[in-house]
Structure 1
């Protein structure tokens, strides 16, 4: 049994005014038997600025939904992936001062069973231009580091890289 990660981060990119809502989020590091990880790439041009990001698939937990159902739904929607939830990696608490939000990111490690159709929202298609990235571990680390060249990219990399490191350790140790 592994000890779950617990990380708390502050937004050092935008000025803090106030936080007016919490968002419970389910996210996953998804991998396959060949050592590939699956991420979403987002091309954004919004209040956070212009940025291309690498990020884990995932999203908000709906009212009455448990975390396992949420992560399976999100991975089906964003990656088209049917997965086995291997375990919970941990929780990263972080903030987006620009939109006055506290995020509670629940991270899971998931193994791909199969891929099918995605079910992206209009915003995910037209505003964020979401696409799937299939990367080996070393390339994923490099992509996070490269994409931390923007303010939002830095926040995402600070949140996700420590969890990616733990996910890789867990896979290498046979979980």
Structure 2
């Protein structure tokens, strides 16, 4: 992995009233790109406690017991996108809160480059509950998509968490290409 100055951010949930936090969740997430300048995201349609929304989000999920954040992100990308990737570097950590479900998230973000695509391995629950699909977007399209999906509470929370990470990822990619 390439060395870089890691982003460290803490965000508060301003969408739902804070009552208490009763658990932490360690999460691994990735900004994924290819040689042609495309970025890959997950599109999710949800209708749950957070409301009805169509969202853009980075690939990722919970780090399981006996897993590192690095092995978790490789697994999550394979499951959600069917992609094999190289981890270029760690972008940083975004600590955020979901007041509605009393959770503190510790999101470890990685910059990953696509090697190949195959079949995804979504669970039946992911297919049924979230209708997950892959979005392939340019950087500018991704920024617009995050902004367009900020019309819901959960969309605003995700955009606040992920847009700064996407901006930092773009800097890292541009600096890497310039070298």
- Tell me, yes or no, whether TM beats 0.5: yes
TM-score range, shorter chain: over 0.9
**Structure 2 unaligned blocks of 5 or more:** none
Whole-angstrom CA distance in 2 between matches of 1:121 and 1:127: 10
Runs of 4+ in structure 1 deviating by more than 3 angstroms, as ranges, are none
C-alpha deviation, 1:69, in angstroms = 0.6
State whether structure 2 residue 38 is matched by structure 1 residue 13. Answer: no
SS in 2 for 1:174: helix
Residue aligning to 1:51: 53
SS in 2 for 1:70: helix
**Cα contact 2:4–2:89 (8 A) shared by 1:** no
How many aligned residue pairs are there?
175
**Cα contact 2:85–2:112 (8 A) shared by 1:** yes
User: TM-score, length-normalised on structure 2?
Assistant: 0.97
Whole-angstrom CA distance in 2 between matches of 1:80 and 1:15: 37
**Structural RMSD (CA):** 0.7
Counterpart selection for 1:40 from 39, 42, 58 = 42
Query: For each residue in 1:118-162, what CA deviation from the matched residue of structure 2 results, as whole angstroms up to 9, or x when unmatched?
Result: 000122100000000000000000000000100000000000000
State whether structure 2 residue 176 is matched by structure 1 residue 135. Answer: no
C-alpha deviation, 1:171, in angstroms = 0.2
Residue aligning to 2:163: 161
C-alpha deviation, 1:60, in angstroms = 0.2
Residue aligning to 2:148: 146
SS in 2 for 1:142: helix
